[in-house]
Amino acid sequence: MKTVLTFRVHWQRSLVLFLGLLLPVVALAGHPGTVPDMPQMPAGNEPVLPLPPPPVVDPLKLELGRRLFYDPILSADGAVACVSCHDLADNGAQRVARPVVRPGQRHLVNAPTVFNASLNAFQFWDGRAGSLEEQIDSVVRGELEFATSWPELVARLKAREDYVQAFQRVYADGITPANVRDAIASFERTLLTPGSRFDRYLRGDEAALSAEEKQGYQLFKDYGCTACHQGVNLGGNLFQRLGIFGDFFAARDEISSADLGRFTLTGREQDRHVFRVPSLRNVAVTAPYFHDGSVTDLKQAVRLVARYQLGRIIPERDLSRILAFLKTLTGSYEGRPLDGKRR
């Protein structure tokens, strides 16, 4: 019996690794939205790619997108802007489990960082948007976000002569829903955080990582973490069930609709508790973790992922090395390291 159980566990782990490598292709092919091309593997067949430089965007469009990102005029009550949940002066998110943007209105899910979000194949924890433009559409209509409609939003912008002129300088047809989406998405695509020590290592700088950090990266691969966290964003390009080797939600007194993941969209039982795999870029400074922000400590988050996603208990020594590696994924925005310190 012990032999049979051991075989079964190893078979399950092998299946998880296989599916983790297969699902990015399946998920991308099956998603109806527009998704970026899958990047090529770097030299040496590493499962992770260094970040590209930020795209070059027309300066007038970039400034318009930045202005819209910060302006609460986009919301029905003039109280909420994109930056309300995604603080670019900090880590691109909020340091709370679930944001409160209006008194008494708490989001059902944790706000993921907007930094490097353009490199995700899907947006939102349930992956309901296949592009930044689709994501903006959802935020405009969302009751806990802008709580408005495109006709109302466009009317508010057209009532402002400064916005009328700004759009006319960039777009021949002026203020339209498509142009608002394009301006904000174009700005968000520049929100990349290059310059991490790990990216320098991937590009050939062996001295960028210490021996412990290199060992941590090797362990990260050996334990199978790259089955889900690979590519340029170390995640963001496939869906996975939270709780493959155990019931992650067993101790919950109540299961919210947000805990159901993609099931709320598809109604398919196989999508229950299935979420978009998060990016690990800047993971050391983007706590709290998981879709509900229920874990604030990175070490605890890694332990839980190892237990429920890999069926493993990672020894303390290995865990410390993996954590050392994860801390090398922190990059910079506009020359400011995202080290978790406000300036």
- Residues annotated as catalytic (active site), given as ranges: 145
Show the tokens assigned to 304: 């839980």
Q: Cα separations (Å) of 124 from 26, 244, 276? A: 19, 21, 7
Q: Say how many residues make up the chain.
A: 343
Packing angle, helices 298-305 and 316-326, rounded to 10? 120
Show the tokens assigned to 321: 């090395």
SS3 276: strand
CB 322 within 8 A of CB 221: no
Q: What pairs with residue 333 in β-bridges?
A: 336
User: For residue 190, with 0-12 CB atoms within 10 Å meaning exposed, 13-18 middle and 19 or more buried, which class applies?
Assistant: middle
Percent helix, strand and coil across the chain, each rounded to 5? 45, 5, 50
Q: How far apart are CA 63 and CA 296, in angstroms?
A: 34
CB atoms within 10 A of CB 177: 16
Q: Residue 245: name the closest of 3, 2, 1, 15 by CA.
A: 15
DSSP 162-219: HHHHHHHHH-TT-S-HHHHHHHHHHHHTT------HHHHHHTT-GGGS-HHHHHHHHH
Q: Residue 209: name the closest of 200, 219, 222, 218 by CA.
A: 200
